[in-house]
Amino acid sequence: MEKSAILEKLKEIIHEQLGSEVNNVTEATTLAEDLQADSLDKVEMIMAAEDEFGIEIDDDSAMAFETVGNVVDYIAAKV
């Protein structure tokens, strides 16, 4: 899948999970600082991404996600 398509789907997930405006979300957007996502938000986003893309995101990789780009890259390698 194209990274841009993955990013668009992730933006939908972020909008749904966090209720944030996602027009300005890019691969550089940080989860903790820019999106103010706490650990529960992160777990919910991972669950939603796993459902959306039909993959399992392993815990060690999930732990390392700091930016939206990190998540896009991980998913791109799997779908």
Partner 1 sequence: MIIYYGFDKDKYDFRQKAIESYNKTNNVDVGKLYKDDLGKPKLEKAYISIADTKNLCVVAISSQEVGIDVEKKDRVSKIKMSIKQWTELEAYSKWTGQGVKGPRDMEKPFPKDDIYSVDILEDYYITVCSKDRDFTTYLL
Candidates 5-13, 20-28, 56-64, 68-76: pick the segment binding partner 1 (CB under 8 A): 56-64
**Of the residues 34, 38, 51, 73, which is catalytic?**
38
Considering the rule CB under 8 A, would residue 1 count as an interface residue with partner 1? no
Please identify which residue in the block is written with the tokens 């399992």.
Answer: 56
Q: Which helix (H) or strand (E) holds 44?
A: helix 39-53
Distance CA 27, CA 41 (A): 18
Smallest separation, CB 7 to partner 1 (Å): 21
Q: What is the distance of C-alpha 46 from the center of its chain? A: 7
Considering the rule CB under 8 A, would residue 50 count as an interface residue with partner 1? yes
Considering the rule CB under 8 A, would residue 44 count as an interface residue with partner 1? yes
Catalytic residue ranges: 38
